[in-house]
A = this chain, B = another copy of it.
């Protein structure tokens, strides 16, 4: 959808005109009261559910939406009942206006000139999409990780437009350690000689070295130590013959399975993800901090919230630990808000929010059926 009106941004800058890519699933009911907005995290998109067909009409390989376990007909967020909207955020690289597109002011690719966008800006842009779709009030806004921050921000920026917020594996802000990991990833990208200050596209190169490192760091923080040990442990990729240890004794070749896995993830990511988008989205994560305008008091910050909440966290998630979700729960309870909270004892770390755990799915299904359903 094209938006011709200027979007003022939190930074004071603005975007003159922009497009948002979105997908919808299910049917909007007559009184437009069954809409559920799904907000995405770092590297995801508007394609939250379902599959794509190729030209022959067959299901395209690996085309499942990123939250297809959660959303669809008969699934926890049941598209037979709800009208689900997935939207790609501004500054991303999956169709919505972002750094890889043409800056109408200069007729050149934005690159590093794309303005810094925040969670608040994304929510404002999403609200305009809802306006255009004729939806005044969301039955629910839902997201995991950075998507959960958007869901929380919705309840602050547009309290009257949100009945329920479902915030999964998220946090009220990043810790110093979270920011530190983001910063290392950004430095890897920015110091890649192919980055050229963010104007690599003009030069026909891509800072893929930096993106690979950024993605490898990310992957380590998405997984738990436990699940890494279980999946990979100290297994060698291909034990060398002729030495009892099985080691190849090389500092540069792959020795362990975990190395092979990380290199593969880094390579894959560096082929489809835009480096400037990576910088923008990690910065949006860093900046999110609704309590900061209230001297760090999250309870005061959430006083204006009227939505009902479901929060979910995962015990082994050390990126956005259960303690961070509990901070939100406490701040909502301090305001006597209606809040449900589930802490799932799952071994998968932060990644658990994308996985098909029956207890997790059951909690979300039950919440939507008993509380969100109209």
Contacts and interface: CB of A to CB of B under 8 A. Distances in A.
Given A10-B245, A245-B287, A251-B280, A181 B220 contact: yes
Nearest to A289: B234
A104 interface: no
Interface in A285-322: 286-287, 289, 292-293, 318
A289 B236 CA distance: 13
B193 A258 contact: no
Nearest to A247: B287
A292 B245 contact: yes
Contacts of A245: 10, 287, 292-293
A242 to B, nearest CB: 8
Dominant SS at the A interface? helix
Contact of A251 (B186, B223, B256): B186
Chain A: number of interface residues, binned into ranges: 35 or more
Contacts of A293: 244-245
A351 interface: no
A249 B217 contact: no
Interface of A: 10-13, 112, 115-116, 173-177, 179-181, 183-184, 186-188, 190-193, 197-198, 209, 212-213, 216-217, 219-220, 223, 225, 228-229, 231-234, 243-245, 247, 249-252, 255-256, 258-259, 262-263, 266, 276, 279-280, 282-283, 286-287, 289, 292-293, 318
